[in-house]
A and B are shown apart, each in its own frame.
Chain A
Amino acid sequence: MDFGKKRKLGVENRSVEALNCHTSSFANTDWHQLSSSLSSWNQPSDTHTLSFPKAANASSSTIGKPVPLNWNLSDSVEKEEIYLSTGPGLLPLSLSNFSSDTEFIERSARFSCFVSNESNAIAETQMQMDIAGKTEALKDKSKLNYHSSNSGSSKKDQSELESPITKKRKSKQEMELHKSQDTAQLPSDVAKNVVDSKQKAEKNSLIMATVKPSGKNSKVAGEAQKEDYIHVRARRGQATNSHSLAERVRREKISERMKFLQDLVPGCSKITGKAVMLDEIINYVQSLQRQVEFLSMKLAAVNPRLDFNIEGILSKDLFQTRSGPSSAIGFSHDMINHQLHSLHQNIIQVGMPGVMNPTEVFRRELNVQLPSTSTFKEAAQQMPNAWDDDLQNIIQMTYGNSTPLKTQDLNGTPHDLFPL
């Protein structure tokens, strides 16, 4: 029933990932701290057992590693029981690290928030704890560990832990949040990669931190109550209110994007602060738009004098591509052959860095082209449909290896078009 559903949802890399992150991050010391901080997992403590964050610091590598959780969840495990079935399965590691059942319970309660499924959540947390307690070596091998743990020892830890939280799980988002949480503590680049990958993988779904307090789950609920999306772990010394957690993730997202924008907008490397940065971005976009408008007016003014030039250029390109394969050297068109050759050469030269190259090329093209403009026009009219592929080839060659118009700006354009 639940497990079946959970398996579908949970048996996803992200959830395991999250687990791995957490588990690896947890050191034994944290456990102890946690256990000590929590008298009972039932109590709605706000788990400032934010030893978690410490643990998170300990392990960083686990982040971003999808570990498909094969929830060998025994169906026997019920909601109220802790993820035992799942937990043990995950942890090949001995549970020797558990100092006490109370600790275990506490942790499980805490982690349960990270798991959408009730039992799964508990199991995950438990597993996390176990693994965390185990070694940090698990960080990098979270995948394997999880797999093995899942398949291996099962239900070792079947202790009666209650699954306080009933949440649906979207493992991916869990992982995302986890990662976004952990990233704050982890080296920025790792975090960024994680978050970036997460963001890329995920739609930009906000973290829905909705609290679903249920009786004894209040404690766990307090920790990180997300439903459907992302699980965030509270950092040490920070409020674990679900809203604040979601907000924190959101803030991190925003700051990350601001940094990216900072790189994009020229001359903004030294600016710190969102407000100033925002103003700069607005100014930049405004200036760009004004430039477009101004240039369009200029083009409108210039164009009437050069009626057929553009057409000629394009038709030239057309002929060029049409007549030959992608290598625009083999021109078969008689009347345009040598012109195309020169054009091709010019186009190739365009590939060289520099702003002026295109204009030079165009100039050359025009000069070459002028005598045969009429023929071009006719030819252009004859093959209006061949443009797409041909021009693509031409353009490809033209702007092939190097940046199209400006090297410095368009260097990575083919790849950076959709950076986010």
Chain B
Amino acid sequence: MKQNKNTSSNNSPRKASMQTYHFLRSLTHINLTRPSSPLHRRSRAIRRAAYVSMARAASPRRMWTRAILGRLQLLRRARLLRRRRNYKKKTTISTPHDKLRRLVPGGEEMDFCRLLEETADYAEFLSKQVRIMRSVVDFMEAECRKKEEKV
């Protein structure tokens, strides 16, 4: 799996564009490095890039951004050490909020009130990310079609 180096010192006032920028950059990086790797690996890397670009564009105050970026660090270290650890924590007490906790990164150790807040923020950035990705896909496909037409 590739690693997306999202090192940037962006101070873009437009955070949504920051998200786009991060994502496009990491996408380019993925395409440049090992474009021949198996599809699932690349898709995983792209997915990770999507989440990381989301987290980068969002405020670091949020728990979910920290969780995502922390996960990235862990992944890197895990890869270095060639070890994979599963961080599945089973909560013994099941509440109706459990599902949501599992969905939102970093939502395990938050109280419900905070969880709702984080969910809102996370959902917002998720929807933005989906839009970005969709537009990129559309563009790519259009481009492909044009190329094919030309040929």
Chain A residues near B (Cβ < 8 Å) = 204, 206, 250, 253-254, 257-258, 260-261, 264-265, 275, 278, 281-282, 284-286, 288-289, 291-293, 295-307, 309-311, 313-314, 355-356, 358-359, 362-363, 366-367, 387-388, 391-392, 395-396, 398-400, 403-406, 409-410, 413-414, 416-420
Q: Which residue of chain A has the shortest Cβ distance to B102 in the bound complex?
A: A282
Query: CB distance B131 to A406 under 8 Å?
Result: yes
* B27 partner residues in chain A, CB cutoff 8 A: 299, 303, 310
Chain B residues near A (Cβ < 8 Å) = 8-18, 20-21, 24-25, 27-28, 30-32, 35-36, 39-40, 42-47, 49-51, 57-59, 61-62, 96-97, 99-100, 103-104, 111-114, 116-117, 119-144, 146-147
Q: Which residue of chain A has the shortest Cβ distance to B35 in the bound complex?
A: A304
* B30 partner residues in chain A, CB cutoff 8 A: 303
Query: CB distance B8 to A300 under 8 Å?
Result: no
Closest 7 interchain pairs by CB?
A395-B17, A300-B43, A257-B116, A296-B47, A300-B42, A296-B46, A295-B133
A308 and B148 CA atoms in complex are apart in Å by 16
Query: CB distance A275 to B96 under 8 Å?
Result: yes
Query: CB distance A392 to B15 under 8 Å?
Result: no
A131 and B140 CA atoms in complex are apart in Å by 68
Query: CB distance A295 to B137 under 8 Å?
Result: yes
* A298 partner residues in chain B, CB cutoff 8 A: 137
* B21 partner residues in chain A, CB cutoff 8 A: 391-392, 395
* A253 partner residues in chain B, CB cutoff 8 A: 113
Q: Which residue of chain B has the shortest Cβ distance to A356 in the bound complex?
A: B138
Query: CB distance A404 to B20 under 8 Å?
Result: yes
Query: CB distance A264 to B120 under 8 Å?
Result: yes
A356 and B137 CA atoms in complex are apart in Å by 11
Query: CB distance A399 to B16 under 8 Å?
Result: yes
Known A388-B10, A392-B10, A399-B20: A303·B15 in contact at CB below 8 Å: no
Query: CB distance A295 to B130 under 8 Å?
Result: yes
A408 and B97 CA atoms in complex are apart in Å by 30
Query: CB distance A414 to B16 under 8 Å?
Result: yes
Known A257-B120, A299-B140, A359-B138: A286·B103 in contact at CB below 8 Å: yes
A297 and B17 CA atoms in complex are apart in Å by 22
A388 and B125 CA atoms in complex are apart in Å by 21
A248 and B32 CA atoms in complex are apart in Å by 55
